[in-house]
Structure 1
Amino acid sequence: MTARNRSVRSGYDPRVGPILALGRPPETEIGPGERLAMNGMGSFDWDLDQGVLELDEAALRVFDLRPGEFDGRPESLVLRVPPEEGARVDYALRRALQAGRRTYGGYFQVTRRDGAKQWSHTQGTILRDKRGNAYRIVGIVRDATDELTHTPDVRVSRPAGERQSLAPIVRLTTEALSRAVTVEEVTAVLTGAGGLERFGADGLALGLVEGGNLRIVGVSGEPVAGMSGLSPRRLDGALPLGEAVMTQRPRFVSSFAELGERFPAVLPYVAAMDELNAAAFLPLVAQARSIGGLALFYRSGDVFTHTHRELCAALAAIVAQSLQRAMLFDREREFATGLQAAMLPRDVPRFDGADIAVRYHTASSGREVGGDWYDVVALPQNRVGLVVGDVQGHDTHAAAVMGQLRIALRAYAAEGHPPSTVLARASRFLAELDTERFATCAYAELDLTGGSVRAARAGHLGPLVRHTDGRTGWPHVRGGLPLGLATALDLHEFPETRLDLVPGETLVFCTDGLVEERDLDITIGMEALAAAVRDGPDEAEELADHLADNLWERWGSQDDVALLILRRDPDPGTSRAPRMHSYVHQADPEGLADARLALRQALEAWQLAELADDLEVAAGELLVNVLLHTEGGAVMTLEVLPEPVRRVRLTVQDRSSVWPRRRSPGEAATSGRGLLMIEALAIHWGVEPRGDGKAVWCEFGPESQRSLLG
């Protein structure tokens, strides 16, 4: 049973108030939902993980929305809540999320269907999981006009049947258009929710002049919905809107029959508008040039008084000025973004053994561009250089500096210099450009054969790593000052951090626009990025699309964003000889336990669970030895050897050149028994050199279990 049916059956109709039920006072039948509705309150349920917002009927009335007008997406409320109003509540919510509070609340204005402003209030309870992450918000929303509004209602009171005056229409339309910056936003104001009510019309069509053609770019109103699929038509005067654009004179039509006689080409369209009887075709003229046309349609044929026509002309002039400003903005932004795109690498090289994806996202507002960039450099000996950076400023100068710095840094990397030297030389180059700008940058060099990574930072975020089991983490990568500033202060130290990227793991580099928002701690954005990467798809291209869809739209970034993702191809071995890898970072306290769990799960999947206890002991000893006695992490490899009698080989690789030695600890010693335990548990074990370090390996099988039992 719907909320509407429940309300009526219980003795209350939310549209007309309490009604008498047979044999009982209405108060005894009013439930919780009805009590909220009687006081102008509605409820909502917001699933943050799925991005779905459910509004009950009373909440829809607060927003002046019909059920069919709301699709369950929070961003769809922009039809009634202007961005600057929504930002007020959004700020309160983000502050509550940041501070870990349970509730939040705030006032905001709703623009109703007729253009009137309505003060509203919302209050929500934030539900969190065991880890403290918010996953759901349940709350109420209500009409707060009586509390906060002390001026007369801006809606125009008029007798039933009297058409709305155009004076408030002009005022409200001017107010709405003043916030529209792009042509798309201007079109949304004219054709979106409340557009027809502001114009006092029953149908609307907006056309723009493009290369001698008139193209319909926006339609509103059910009677004229068929016009949305019209292809561009030549401006030849065959249609009334085209004639108005060509002559720059409006045409008012009170009879569609007469319209068909004057314009035979319009007859197919008129036949589909049997509900309409009058229309106004208004040219949109700016600086003596026709830039488009606006058609307003009415069911009544007697609406065009002298005052009405003058106000329609004034309305068209306002729309024309807004469109001209928006067209200029779009052209300037297209030029700026084109310059930015030209400065970025046209193609990203591809490598065997790795999957790479890049994305660049311009800021959501403003005509200027930033200096964010990414780059991928092919290096000798199957290595690849990964670069992400951001030049200070948001203008074409920042983009120009970025282009020069990107090329210089690419050249230094291609010469074979280590990351610390690449950043130091780039800093000197930027300082010599005779610019006061500085830049942040992160550079990493990856050996695709062994998976070793050498990373350095210059005032920038380090990489995010997603491990093969789905865990994500921000490894501690040491860094120096931003490029340019380091040279000015004569501090050219950019220490390197050594990491390992095992097959199947992913590196994610980004600029701060993806994780930083004004007035909020950057750690909130970093946690959101880590969660999105953890829950995203495996492939680099699909993961990049996932981050773009979920984070750029969620944060509504006011800054440019550069994103670079590299994933090493998985190395599962074969069905007869499967293989798994795991990297344990020295600064990751949970890495050791996670590696043991991954080892046991792999053995169970390979139907070798009987070896799990011995292998887990051996892995723990070898990994702890690396974490305690070396300055880096460890790569653990577990593989099944393709022999008639299957054996399992465990290998732990580190970057230390010191080989382990067997000792004879005394009875009171607390260490020195690791190799003795491995020698007792394993069939064979040994040490071999690997690059700039070593690998300790040991093999297990049925023979090792028999020796222990004996």
Structure 2
Amino acid sequence: MPPSEDENRPADRTQAADRPRTPDRTPPPLGAPTTRSAMRCVRLLLGCTSAAELLGTVLAEGPGWITGEGSALYLLDSTGMLRLTASHGLPEWAHERYGVVDPDSELPAAIALRLRRPYLLGPEHISVDYPNRNAGMGTGMIAVITLPMVVDERPVGVLALALAHRGTVPRRDLDVLETIAEACGHRLSHLLDHADARLPRDARPPHGVRSSEGPAAGTDGADAGRPAGPAHPLLSLAVRAAGHGAFERDLVTGESYWDIAAFRVTGRPVSPDGSAPELDRLVHPEDLPDVQAALAEALATGGHYRIGYRVLRRGGRVARVEESGEVMLDVHGRPVRIAGLLADVGHRERPPAQESGSPAAARTALLLALTRALSRAVTVRDVTTAVTDIARPALGAAGIVLDLVDEGRLLPVSHTVYGGPRRTELTRLADLSADVMQRSLTRSAPLFSEPSAARARRDPLAPAAWAVLPLVASGQQVGSCLITFAAERAFSREDRTLYSAFAGILAQSLERARLYDTHHHRATELQRAMLPRTLPRLPGIASAARYLPSTEGMQIGGDWYDLLRLPDGRIGLVIGDVQGHNAEATAVMGQLRSGLRAYATDGHDPAATLARTSRLLSELDTELFATCLYLTLDPAGGELTAARAGHPAPVRITTGARAVELELPGGPPLGVDPEQPYPLVVDRLAAGETLLVYTDGLVEDREEDYDESVQRMLGGLELWARQAGPGRLGAAASLERLADLLTLNVTERRSRPDDVALLLLHRMSPLP
């Protein structure tokens, strides 16, 4: 049912077709503020050239509380249907199920377009109506808002954005979202009007309806009888006026598309589907290493680049071409697309590229570029990402399968980076190549395929060409790497030397990354071992807890929680955070946890317990301090006593679906002033109410004010409580679900600089 006019109902999960095209922007000067500006975002939107670039700009430059995962852009096509045109973080099933949306349906994108106003769908609504957990936005406390794009009373499409809001979107944020959607709508309308102007009169879509595909760039009257270019719209009229060719490379799928002018510039025959030739089939062999090195650098940094090179035309003729493009990054900083222009610069003496002087020097430059990319990788996943995002397109490869040696066996790790159909393809490649990868590692020698029509006939699923590289570092077998190519090729002696050198660099990086992963895993396990394995089952209450370690560097921290059974029948609830992120913080945390437990079970009230624990910390041989919160609860009567030492205040979720922080005056952190007393507060937790205690890592976000983050969490808790309904929140499964939802938004951040701990405690209603 559509919402009432005075209700902002939570949004849709309707998702999109292409991956996000997030344009990289020139970084600000050193020391400049990095906060995002809504006005800057709108200004950049007005310069975008495609729907995909618009969505990417919203994700890259819009407010940080637009999470990106699960966002999409719909355009009305010539049949009047909403068609998914660009998206981010969507699984394959969502593309198939919501690829086309009927404007008369009850899906939120359709509702928003009919109502001509934003339609908000909250996280619990999403999890009920769209329970598939493989959706990029998950099923957590993230809202989705669908915003109609209407220009001069004419509908253009719908923008769907996933938000980190956990409750009702504030009016000020809604104004920002509506402004962004309006800018997107006007820009799309402008682009589509220019595209329409290039079409014959009888081919234009009906008035008020915009095609989501549009004509291919370069299509004009002279080309009317020629094969169409790619279905991806390249809408710049300046490209056609200058006689340049436009191209697009999808770095996720490996596909490349040219418009007709690009084929003309390079002197290549036009392919029916607009697919571009392979890089090594296009670029002059002597220039190929230079191009690969320059491309590797551009992929590693993102942003604009220019490369000059020679291309081989039919009949053995050579032409000089300049390629000017932009590597576009997604919200996680990974390259996802390249788009740009090809220009014939044959009249110039030499192309405007930094020529290395010789093919050997160019190959060295390529290896240096790949080495720099791998040197920044810390974990095995980082290494795999660098190979996927930079090495694969720079080498012109169709795919890379990376296996690591684990207890004498080769296990694939590439699948941790790819998703969707790419994962299926890699699984097939891994199955096909298992024997040859093992053989190459056993022989400690690389294997290279050679063109063979007979082989292709025997195994049509096998790649056209491939190289298998054993990965050996410090005399130890690390793994094996399969690099596949879409077209047959012969590997020259120089090629084999290049790939062998790359294998050595990759092996060293993997060995270092595996060592790091091992140490980090052990440190994390040490910290987990100091936390309760399970929460005790206590009468009259339900409880749930979560702990998430930091993901940055070797950071292990001092977050801890505890649920205590006290001698007088009361329940003790403890949460704390030791300053620092190292082994010392973890060790101090273990001592504090033991000391506080001893003081509490001796019968001291929360204020006295914290005072004694503070003195204990000051007597330890450390300069660290800690924040802490300690509460006791009488499950029978609901009496609550509490004290806190510099820690975030606990949150009460009432039976009326309100989430409020307890009025709890605090003292200094433990260990700062051991003689300072702590105020004791007496309150009451009614039957059916819930308490949340947490460490600041749950809400802290570098891109947002801390108080605003807390308010978003409170709004999300209220939303959850309203939709869970009276009596349901106390169920154990429901409380566990709430704990998952609270931590979901944290797990989807690019990085987690701090540990996260939380504890939920619900006082049961008495049985009738």
Alignment TM-score, normalising by the size of structure 2: 0.54
Aligned in 2, Cα 1:507/1:133: closer, same or farther, shift over 3 Å? farther
Matched AA of 2:388: T
Letter in 1 for 2:681: T
Within-5 A mapping of 1:288-299 = 288-299=475-486
**Matched residue SS, 1:215:** strand
- Counterpart residue number, 1:228: 427
Contact preservation (8 Å) 1:215, 1:231: no
Q: Which among 535, 544, 555 is matched to residue 348 of structure 1?
A: 535
**2:55, 2:87 within 8 Å by CA — same for their partners in 1?**
no
User: What letter corresponds to residue 49 of structure 2 in structure 1?
Assistant: A
Q: 1:437 to 1:223 in 2, by over 3 A?
A: closer
Q: Percent identity?
A: 36
Name the structure 1 match of 2:72. Answer: 54
CA distance in 1 between counterparts of 2:621 and 2:557 reads 19
1:256 to 1:458, Cα distance in 2 relative to 1, 3 A? farther
Q: State whether residues 389 and 460 of structure 1, in contact with CA within 8 Å, keep that contact through their aligned partners in structure 2.
A: yes
Aligned pairs (5 A) from 1:466-477 = 466-477=653-664
Aligned-partner Cα distance in 1 for 2:176–2:371: 38
Q: 1:209 to 1:230 in 2, by over 3 A?
A: farther
SS at match of 1:42: helix
Q: By how many angstroms is 1:152 displaced?
A: 8.3
What RMSD, in angstroms, separates the aligned Cα atoms of the two structures? 4.2
Question: What is residue 273 of structure 1 aligned with on the other side?
Answer: 461
Matched, 1:189 2:386: yes
Note closer, same or farther for the CA distance 1:351–1:272 as it changes in structure 2 (3 Å cut). farther
| TM-score, with structure 1 as normaliser | 0.58
CA shift in 2, pair 1:206/1:393, >3 Å: same
Q: Structure 1, residues 226-275: CA drift from partner, whole Å, max 9, x if none?
A: 55168899xxx992221221222111120467889xxxxxx9xx72525x
Residue in 1 aligned with 2:203?
none
In the superposition, relative to structure 1, how do residues 464 and 157 fare at CA in structure 2: closer, same or farther (>3 Å)?
Answer: farther
Counterpart of 2:685 in structure 1 is: 501
How far does the alpha carbon of each residue in 1:98-156 deviate from its partner, in whole angstroms, 9 at most, with x for none?
xxxxxxxxxxxxxxxxxxxxxxxxxx9x9x9565455873256999xx9xx9x982546
Q: Give CA deviations for 1:302-346 in whole Å, capped at 9, x if unaligned.
A: 331122111111221221122112101101101110110111122
State the partner residue of 1:456. 643
Task: Name the aligned partner's letter for residue 201 of structure 1.
Answer: A
**Are positions 1:318 and 2:505 aligned together?**
yes
Equivalent-residue separation in structure 2 for 1:342 and 1:295 (angstroms) = 39
Distance 1:428 1:224 in 2: 55
Q: Which residue of 2 aligns with 1:159?
A: 311
Paired with 2:461 and 2:509, the residues of 1 have a C-alpha distance of: 29
More strand by share: 1
Letter in 1 for 2:414: G
SS of structure 1 residue aligned to 2:765: coil
d(CA) in 2 for partners of 1:34 and 1:381? 67
Distance 1:34 1:411, change over 3 A: closer
Q: Could you list the per-position Cα deviations for residues 327-375 of structure 1 after superposition, in whole angstroms to 9, with x for gaps in the alignment?
A: 0110110111011011112221111211111111111221120001001
User: Is residue 178 from structure 1 mapped to residue 375 from structure 2 by the alignment?
Assistant: yes
Letter matched to residue 184 of structure 1 = R
1:228 aligned partner, one-letter code: T
Secondary structure at the aligned position of 2:748 is classed as: helix
Corresponding residue for residue 561 of structure 1: 756
Cα deviation for residue 452 of structure 1 reads 1.1
Inter-partner Cα distance in structure 1 for 2:70 and 2:486: 38
User: Distance in 2 between the 1:257 and 1:435 partners?
Assistant: 71
Report the residue type matching 1:527 in the other structure.
Answer: Q
Unpaired segments ≥5 residues, structure 2: 1-44, 60-64, 77-83, 95-162, 188-233, 239-300, 324-361
Q: Is the 8 A contact 1:503 1:570 kept in 2?
A: yes
Q: Is the 8 A contact 2:685 2:763 kept in 1?
A: yes
- Is the alpha carbon distance of 1:509 and 1:155 closer, same or farther for their aligned partners in structure 2, counting shifts above 3 Å? farther
Trace 1:384-395 onto structure 2 (pairs within 5 A). Answer: 384-395=571-582
- The match for 1:526 among 687, 710, 715 is 710
Contact 1:217 1:228 in 2 (8 A): no
1:37 aligns to 2:49 (yes or no): yes
The separation in 1 between residues aligned to 2:691 and 2:423, in whole angstroms, is 51
**Cα displacement string for residues 674-700 of structure 1 (whole angstroms, at most 9, x for unaligned residues):** xxxxxxxxxxxxxxxxxxxxxxxxxxx
- Cα deviation digits, residues 649-705 of structure 1 (max 9, x gap): xxxxxxxxxxxxxxxxxxxxxxxxxxxxxxxxxxxxxxxxxxxxxxxxxxxxxxxxx
C-alpha displacement of 1:426 = 0.7
What amino acid sits opposite 1:494 in the alignment?
Y
1:529-608 correspondence runs (5 A): 529-536=713-720, 537=724, 538=729, 539-554=734-749, 556-571=751-766
User: Taking CA–CA contacts closer than 8 Å with sequence separation of 6 or more, which of the two structures ends up with the larger relative contact order?
Assistant: 2
Question: What pairs with 1:75-114 in structure 2 (closer than 5 Å)?
Answer: none
SS of alignment partner, residue 239 of structure 1: helix
Shift of 1:521: 3.0
CA contact (8 A) 1:515 1:529 kept: yes
Q: Are 1:415 and 2:602 counterparts?
A: yes
**Aligned equivalents of 1:259, 1:515: Cα separation in 2:** 57
Q: Which residue of 1 aligns with 2:563?
A: 376
Secondary structure in 1 matching 2:413: strand
Whether the aligned pair in 2 keeps the contact of 1:278 and 1:298 (CA below 8 Å) is: yes
Tell me which amino acid in the other structure corresponds to 1:499: D
**Aligned residue-pair number:** 464
Q: For residues 479 and 227 of structure 1, do their structure 2 counterparts lie closer, same or farther at Cα, with a shift above 3 Å needed?
A: closer
State the distance in 1 between where 2:683 and 2:51 align: 60
What amino acid is aligned across from residue 680 of structure 2 in structure 1? E
Encode CA deviations 1:61-114: one digit per residue, 9 max, x unaligned: xxxxx96884459xx9xxxxxxxxxxxxxxxxxxxxxxxxxxxxxxxxxxxxxx
Name the larger-Rg structure. Answer: 1
Distance in 2 (alpha carbons) for counterparts of 1:534 and 1:390 = 26
Q: Is the 8 A contact 2:473 2:504 kept in 1?
A: yes
**Alignment check: 8 A CA contact 1:172 1:198 kept:** no
- Give the residue type in structure 2 aligned to 1:507: L
1:406 matched to 2:596? The reply is: no
Q: Using a 3 Å threshold, how does the CA distance of structure 1 residues 35 and 313 change in structure 2: closer, same or farther? A: closer
Work out the CA distance in 2 between the residues paired with 1:391 and 1:241.
47
